[in-house]
Amino acid sequence: MTRDRELRRAFDASFAAPEPQPAAARERLLAVRVGDQVVALPWAALAGIHRLGAPAPVPGRGAGLLGIAAVGGVPLPVFDLAALLGREVAGAAPAWVAQVQGAPVGLAFAALLRQVEVPAAAREGAAAAAGWLRTVVAEDGAAWPVVEVERLVEHLGRRGSGAPAPTAGSEAAGTGRER
């Protein structure tokens, strides 16, 4: 009978306890060096990270287009992320390429620094510098602009075709081809 009472008390007490709060939403980011700055790429916007081989040059290369490279066994147009963001590109040549999720585009950068997971609330509402850098994430005292990858790829698609870019996830989204 004592066991019955203990179980009843535990059962009743479970209703008196406050409900557990859901874990705060977190966002995974990849910190990379582009030119003279560190920026963050949203992990969810990326299909993979690869070492960058020598891209094959293409005629009529547009601003930032390094050429075509095999990325994860797939030929992709590879853009220098520093050039697209208007950063100084005189430093180290891009050594890494981020394959964009849902679009046949590679974004090249000089150094892969680290992966971080931050509370989604860490994104501050104020715009960072300009262009494709819209929010800033503070982590361990550092503030990094976050590249809005989807918007950047949409822009590359519009620039390459002369028409509005297809929606993200379509086969032709953001090819970045120049005419």
pLDDT in tens, 44-97: 999 999 999 999 998 876 778 999 999 888 899 999 999 998 887 767 789 999
Three-class DSSP category at 35:
coil
Angle subtended at Cα 163 by Cα 77 and Cα 153, rounded to the nearest 5 degrees: 40
Q: In this structure, what are the phi and psi dihedrals at residue 167, rounded to the nearest 5 degrees?
A: -70, 155
Name residues whose C-beta falls within 8 Å of residue 154's C-beta, 6 or more positions apart in sequence: 165, 168, 173, 174
Read off the CATH number of the domain in which 121 is found: 2.40.50.180
The answer to whether position 18 is within a domain reads no
Edge-to-edge strand order for the sheet containing 37-42? 111-119, 26-34, 37-42, 142-147, 133-139, 123-124
The answer to whether position 10 is within a domain reads no
Q: Is the pLDDT of residue 116 over 80?
A: yes
pLDDT at 60: 76
**Residue bearing the bigger pLDDT, 156 or 172:** 156
Residue with tokens 């180290």: 92
Q: Is the pLDDT of residue 139 over 80?
A: no
The answer to whether position 7 is within a domain reads no
The answer to whether position 154 is within a domain reads yes
The answer to whether position 24 is within a domain reads no
Name residues whose C-beta falls within 8 Å of residue 172's C-beta, 6 or more positions apart in sequence: 157, 161, 166
pLDDT at 22: 66
Per residue in 157-176, pLDDT tens?
A: 877 643 333 333 333 333 33
Q: What residues form DSSP beta bridges with 119?
A: 26
**Enclosing domain of residue 121:** 31-161
pLDDT at 140: 72
Q: Is the dihedral of CA 89, 93, 96, 101 positive or negative?
A: positive
- Residue range 100-113: mean pLDDT, rounded: 94
pLDDT band with cut points at 50, 70 and 90 for residue 113: very high
Single pTM value for the model: 0.72
